């Protein structure tokens, strides 16, 4: 019973991490139609900023708070300078963002060297429930993920900013005719997606430690999750991330990890092939 509970917690916490990473990716893919290959590097940057704050002697949580803002600002600048030119061509956008990601990744690699740098958990220790111990930080990640998810949902569905964002997605020319500055909305959306990636990076760095390929590790899982969930809505990618994260964490408990690892991807691709619109099709939030 205790074991089952620990397993469930592990699965849940990994699922939450994937959801956190996919949130930004999904928003950019759904709202702008761009599969951002640099998203993994935004995660990496968030992690790096947290590490930097820690190395400078600041508390870890200060870095975690700063990371989304810094990465979001960078995303805004990059969108205005580079990403903006790619909207018409999705494949070119992939390649361009890949090049961008390459630059960021290698720059960070140059800064940190080939090391695995650890950052302590801001909330250490464990939560004890009877005889069961679960990591307090991982539990915090789950809580923050839920809060961020709820926040994003409310932002998109309840605020006028969210309404304008969705209007821009659905019909850019009508949105422009209605007086919405679509370039600004695209910039804001991209910045928002980047900020979420930065936040994800900042939160997961105590769990996975910092190394240059940190972002790359989650990028493909993230893409698959977005495709499984369905592009075009906010809920779709989140649902996909939940499924992929849960599967990747749960399958190794019942079969050889190597097989499980590959099986997740195979299942996902087969699923997308036969249901291209994803788990949750249709518009809405």
Partner 1 sequence: MPKVMGALKKAIPAEIGGEADAAMESSAAAGQAASGRKVLPIVEGVVLVAALLAPLVLQDYLTVFATRVIILALFALSFDLVWGYAGIMSFGQALFFGSAGYGVALLARDLDITNIFLVLPAGTIIGLTFALLLGGFLLLGRHPSSVIFVSLGTLTGSYAADRLARGWYYLGGQNGIPSIAPMTLGGYEFSEGPAFYYFVLGILVVVYLLCRFLVRSQFGLALAGLRENEQRIAFFGYKAQHLKAIIFTIGGAIAGLAGSLYAFHEGFVWPNMVGVVVSTQVVLYVLFGGSGTLIGAVIGTVIIEGVSFWLSDNYRDIWPIILGLLLLLVILFRPLGLISFLLGERERVGSFDAVRKEKRDAAS
Tell me the C-alpha to C-alpha distance, in Å, between residue 31 and each of 78, 187, 254, 264: 17, 11, 37, 26
- Rule CB under 8 A: is residue 80 a binding residue for partner 1? no
Distances in whole angstroms, Cα of residue 263 to Cα of each of 14, 40, 111, 272? 17, 22, 36, 14
Our measurement of the distance from residue 164's CA atom to the centroid of its chain's CA atoms, rounded to an integer in Å, reads 22
Q: Does 88 bind partner 1 (CB under 8 A)?
A: no
Identify which of 204, 247, 208, 193 has the alpha carbon closest to the alpha carbon of residue 36. 193
Candidate residues 57, 110, 130, 179; the one interacting with partner 1 per rule CB under 8 A: 110
Contact between 115 and partner 1 by CB under 8 A: the answer reads no
Query: Binding residue for partner 1 (CB under 8 A) from 7, 128, 261, 284?
Result: 261
Minimum CB distance to partner 1, residue 97 (Å): 10
CB of 186 to partner 1, least distance (A): 17
From residue 179 to residue 218, what is the string marking binding to partner 1 with x (rule CB under 8 A)? -------------------------------------x--
Residue 267 touching partner 1 (CB under 8 A) = no
CA distances from 210 to 45, 114, 201, 203 (A): 10, 10, 9, 11
DSSP structure class, residue 58:
-
Of 12, 47, 31, the C-alpha closest to 237 is: 31
User: Among the candidate windows 10-18, 157-165, 168-176, 267-275, which touches partner 1 by CB under 8 A?
Assistant: 267-275
95 binds partner 1 per the rule CB under 8 A: yes
Stretch touching partner 1 by CB under 8 A, among 11-19, 59-67, 94-102, 236-244: 94-102
Nearer to partner 1, 61 or 271 (CB): 271
Using CB under 8 A, which of 5, 109, 117, 132 touches partner 1? 109
Question: H or E element: which one contains 134?
Answer: strand 132-135
Give the whole-angstrom CA distance, residue 265 versus residue 209. Answer: 25
| Residue 107 lies near partner 1 (rule: CB under 8 A) | yes
- Could you say whether residue 243 binds partner 1 (CB under 8 A)? no
CA distance 15 to 247: 8
Q: Taking the mean position of all CA atoms in its chain, how far away is CA 129?
A: 30
Chosen residue from 52, 66, 214, 224 binding partner 1 by CB under 8 A? 224
CB-based contact 108:45 (threshold 8 Å): yes
Under the criterion CB under 8 A, does residue 266 sit at the interface with partner 1? yes
Contact 180, 164 (CB under 8 A): yes
The reply on whether position 262 binds partner 1 by CB under 8 A is yes
Q: CB of 144: closest distance to partner 1 in angstroms?
A: 28
Contact between 106 and partner 1 by CB under 8 A: the answer reads yes
* CA–CA gap between residue 139 and residue 5 (Å, rounded): 13
Residues that bind partner 1 (CB under 8 A): 35, 82, 85, 90-92, 94-96, 98-100, 102-103, 105-107, 109-110, 216, 220, 223-224, 227, 257-258, 261-262, 265-266, 268-269, 272-273, 276
């Amino acid at each position: 019973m205790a074991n089952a509970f620990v397993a469930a917690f592990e699965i849940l916490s990994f699922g939450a991490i994937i959801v956190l990473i996919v949130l930004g990716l999904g928003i950019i893919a759904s709202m702008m139609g761009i599969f951002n290959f640099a998203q993994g590097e935004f995660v990496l940057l968030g992690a790096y900023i947290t590490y930097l704050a820690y190395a400078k002697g600041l508390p870890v949580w200060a870095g975690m708070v700063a990371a989304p803002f810094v990465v979001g600002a960078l995303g805004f600048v990059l969108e205005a300078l580079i990403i903006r030119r790619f909207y018409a061509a999705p494949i070119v956008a992939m390649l361009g963002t890949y090049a961008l990601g390459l630059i960021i990744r290698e720059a960070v690699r140059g800064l940190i060297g080939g090391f695995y740098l650890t950052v302590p958990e801001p909330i250490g220790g464990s939560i004890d429930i009877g005889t069961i111990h679960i990591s307090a930080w991982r539990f915090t990640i789950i809580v923050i993920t839920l809060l961020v998810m709820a926040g994003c949902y409310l932002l998109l569905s309840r605020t006028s900013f969210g309404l304008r964002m969705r209007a821009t997605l659905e019909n850019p020319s009508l949105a422009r005719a209605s007086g919405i500055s679509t370039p600004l909305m695209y910039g804001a959306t991209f910045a928002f997606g980047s900020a979420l990636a930065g936040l994800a990076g900042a939160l997961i760095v105590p769990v996975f430690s910092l190394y240059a390929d940190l972002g790359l590790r989650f990028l493909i899982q993230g893409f698959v999750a977005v495709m499984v969930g369905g592009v075009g809505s906010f809920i779709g990618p989140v649902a996909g991330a939940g499924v992929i994260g849960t599967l990747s964490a749960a399958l190794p408990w019942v079969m050889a990890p190597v097989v499980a690892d590959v099986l997740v991807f195979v299942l996902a691709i087969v699923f997308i092939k036969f249901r291209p619109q994803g788990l949750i099709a249709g518009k809405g939030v």
